[in-house]
Structure 1
Amino acid sequence: MCCLEFIVKYVLIIGNIIFALLGLGILGLGIAVHVNLKDIYQLIPVGLSALSISIITLGCIIFVISTLACCGAIRESRCMLLFYALFMAILAGIKIYLTVLIFGFLDTATTTVTRWLISAFNNEDLRPAYHGLETLFRCCGTTGAGSYAPGAVPQSCCASPIDNVCQANFYDGCIDQLTSYFETFGESIGAVLIVVIIIECVCVLAGLFLSCQIRRKRYTA
């Protein structure tokens, strides 16, 4: 049993080092999404800002708790290990819910993004923000330059406008560009979350086992 305890202890330490790195990965992806979308939140009638901030917060929490878990395993602190196991179980539940939400959104990404962008494009009050979206994502209108027919195509629709008007080399439609963006980042974040959940469950079991072993040793000492 001592050999198993030794193995579990170092699996817990190594697992949480990996876990901390994955937490940094989630943090980085959340920051990337938040920074890229900060200028267009008003165009999208859902709490994407809250979602990206939640992902950033989750990444920070994972990193901090994983670092503390390594310290608890090294010092063989039963209190820290029990707290860690409980907290990780709660976080696992939250991440499972978040993963379901992300993949649920991806299932309807094209329909949802299409509805958002058509609504925003047809709202004249949001037209300046929409042009900002076109510049950010290198896209044009909803389905391309034809979205502006019969009027002039704005300078945000191409890389080389002439007299503030695009005349050639138009970008593709924003619906295709944003759908691809959400699918790419959604799948990346979802994949990282799945890996984190699996490692988390293993670490919870390891933490509980190590805590029980520490308790047994103290009572038999």
Structure 2
Amino acid sequence: MNCGMECIKYLLFIFNFIFALSGLAILICGVIIHMSMDYVIKANIEVPISSPAIVLIIIGAVIFIIAFFGCCGAIRESHCMVITFAILLLTLLIIKVSVASYIFIQNGNKIEEKIFKDLEKSIKQYFNSNEAIRTKVDSIQFVFQCCGYNSYNDYLNDQKNTQGIIPGSCCNKQENQFCHTSEASKVEGCGKILYSFIIYYGSALCGLALGIAVIELIGIIFSFCLANSIRNVERRGYKV
């Protein structure tokens, strides 16, 4: 076996080890984001990032399995396994690009519109004597330390609110209690805070996806180089 092939073999093994770690990182990142979004889901706010979090978990697990397969192929110097690994990696890359494109096209600039629409709807129903709605809104106001979808003044615009009261969650009181604006400790609207929260995690997802895509592309190139070297050795009649 020549030095070049040996070098590619170990480079591919190192790549797959890093790739496996990145798969675990994606999986863990997906779990963290999914758990973080539970707070938002409990508040009945539909956001376009919970589904991608689940996709991350699945992709992370698949990447780890494929990387393990690639390690075995590199160590055993199996042309079939290395080619299979390269094809799986290429397929995974295409799927991820397709999913990312679909999510971007479907949501794009609609993220802020969806957040404010759902949040405004829930807040407008707050004084309808519906405990479930109040609990959901209180939940997001407690978690994100905010009040209303623009400010606590949104509650004062409700015709049923004749006493000028706001939810207790705006004043660090227990759920389903009320307080006056003079007691409000949270004056920033939840809409902007929630939007920033989603943009932050969305940017993290994009950065992570781009980094992994570059790693995958390098792995595909190494794989085909190693597979070609193995095939050349086989053709020359050497034992692989």
The TM-score, its normalising length taken from structure 2, stands at 0.80
SS at match of 1:143: coil
C-alpha deviation, 1:102, in angstroms = 5.2
Structure 1 residues 13 and 70, CA, compared in 2 at 3 Å: closer, same or farther?
A: same
C-alpha deviation, 1:136, in angstroms = 2.2
The question of 1:214 aligning with 2:215 is answered: no
Q: Which amino acid aligns with 2:151?
A: G
Q: Which amino acid aligns with 1:38?
A: D
In 2, Cα distance between equivalents of 1:162 and 1:190: 36
Larger deviation, residues 115-124 vs 86-95: 115-124
Answer whether contact 1:142 1:174 (CA < 8 A) is retained: yes
Answer whether contact 1:158 1:171 (CA < 8 A) is retained: no
Aligned to 1:120: 122
The question of 1:86 aligning with 2:87 is answered: yes
Larger deviation, residues 184-193 vs 24-33: 24-33
In 1, Cα distance between equivalents of 2:2 and 2:152: 70
Aligned to 1:186: 202
Which whole-Å deviations, capped at 9, do the CAs of 1:147-204 have from their partners, x for residues lacking one? 2114422222243569933423115211111111111111001101001111101111
Structure 1 residues 120 and 80, CA, compared in 2 at 3 Å: closer, same or farther?
A: farther
Aligned residue pair count: 221
Mapping of residues 96-107 of structure 1, within 5 Å: 96-101=97-102, 105=107, 107=109
In 1, Cα distance between equivalents of 2:4 and 2:187: 60
Aligned to 2:143: 136
Q: Which has the higher contact order (CA 8 A, sep 6+)?
A: 1
Q: In structure 1, list runs of 5 or more residues that go unmatched.
A: none
For the aligned residues, what is the CA RMSD? Answer: 2.7
Q: In structure 2, list runs of 5 or more residues that go unmatched.
A: none
Give the fraction of aligned pairs with identical amino acids, expressed as a percent: 30
C-alpha deviation, 1:76, in angstroms = 1.1
Larger deviation, residues 150-159 vs 38-47: 38-47
In 2, Cα distance between equivalents of 1:106 and 1:220: 54
Which whole-Å deviations, capped at 9, do the CAs of 1:42-63 have from their partners, x for residues lacking one? 7244665433211111111112
Q: Which has the larger radius of gyration?
A: 2
Larger deviation, residues 15-24 vs 201-210: 15-24
In 1, Cα distance between equivalents of 2:77 and 2:137: 56
Larger deviation, residues 154-163 vs 125-134: 154-163
C-alpha deviation, 1:11, in angstroms = 2.2
SS at match of 1:153: strand
Larger helix proportion of the pair: 1
SS at match of 1:194: helix
Which whole-Å deviations, capped at 9, do the CAs of 1:14-62 have from their partners, x for residues lacking one? 2222222222222122111211222443724466543321111111111
Q: Which amino acid aligns with 2:192?
A: D
The question of 1:71 aligning with 2:72 is answered: yes
Q: Which amino acid aligns with 1:157?
A: C
In 2, Cα distance between equivalents of 1:107 and 1:69: 39
Aligned to 1:16: 16
C-alpha deviation, 1:103, in angstroms = 5.1
